[in-house]
């Protein structure tokens, strides 16, 4: 995939819903019911972070759920990209971006949301052809005010901010002209997963789905 194709595919995924759930799942048995609950609430794009031993199995299980578009988060290496694609991931997300990681995603045909946390990083990705990027860690890197400031000098770049975002501040980001969606974990809280409270996950997802996007 070319960078332009990557960006088109990434934008299509980001426009599926205003919130992309960022999921840390320890138990593969939770994967299918969690994905079903999130999709039922209107959040089809699912980012499974590669932070647990079960992550690849979780991606495999979620890839089977009708209506879901599962991706792999915390991609760091070429090996991560290959494993995620083989498990059924349809997109990737990285906390930052390196030439090797970008090349791996292009080679594997895996649409990537490469991470940027500064104007220079965003410019470097734009120079390579990536017009859709992840802004991480959003709150710690300057928050909605920082992204608003970037919208004038870098109008070509659209972001999916992630990191410290909740229902309370999501609208601050979604109201910006350069934000396509936000990533957040609040729609799948650990206590709900542990209790198998899937109806609660669906309720939280529907609430997030209703957030206004500019």
Given a contact cutoff of 8 angstroms between Cβ atoms, the answer to whether 135 and 116 are in contact is yes
In what order do the strands lie in the sheet containing 158-161? 115-116, 132-135, 158-161
Rounded Cα gap, residues 105 and 94, in angstroms? 11
Selecting among 47, 85, 106, 200, the annotated active-site residue is: 47
Asked if residue 158 lies in contact with residue 14, where contact means CB atoms within 8 angstroms, the answer is: yes
DSSP 163: S
Alpha helices by DSSP H, the chain: 3-14, 31-40, 55-62, 78-87, 99-108, 119-128, 143-151, 170-174, 190-195, 198-209
**What would you measure as the largest C-alpha separation in the chain, in angstroms?**
47
> Catalytic site residue 47?
yes
Annotated active-site residue 134? The verdict is: yes
End-to-end Cα separation, the chain, in angstroms = 29
Distance from C-alpha of 52 to C-alpha of 25, rounded to nearest angstrom: 7
* Active-site residue (options: 36, 85, 106, 134): 134
Residues marked active site are found at: 47, 134
């Amino acid at each position: 995939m070319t960078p332009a194709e990557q960006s088109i595919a990434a934008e299509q995924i980001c426009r599926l819903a205003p919130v992309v759930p960022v999921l840390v799942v320890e138990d593969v048995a939770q994967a299918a019911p969690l994905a079903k609950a999130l999709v039922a609430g209107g959040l089809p794009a699912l980012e499974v972070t590669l932070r647990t031993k079960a992550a690849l199995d979780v991606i495999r299980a979620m890839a089977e759920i009708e209506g879901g578009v599962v991706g792999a988060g915390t991609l760091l290496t070429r090996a991560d990209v290959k494993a995620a694609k083989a498990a059924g991931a349809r997109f990737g997300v990285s906390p930052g971006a390196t030439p090797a990681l970008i090349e791996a995603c292009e080679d594997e045909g895996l649409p990537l949301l490469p991470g940027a946390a500064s104007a220079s990083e965003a410019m470097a990705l734009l120079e390579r052809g990536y017009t859709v990027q992840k802004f991480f860690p959003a709150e710690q890197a300057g928050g909605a005010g920082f992204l608003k400031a970037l919208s004038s000098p870098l109008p070509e770049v659209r972001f999916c901010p992630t990191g410290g975002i909740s229902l309370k501040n999501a609208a601050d980001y979604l109201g910006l002209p350069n934000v396509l969606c936000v990533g957040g974990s609040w729609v799948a809280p650990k206590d709900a997963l542990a209790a198998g409270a899937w109806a609660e996950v669906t309720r939280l997802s529907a609430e997030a789905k209703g957030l206004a996007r500019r």
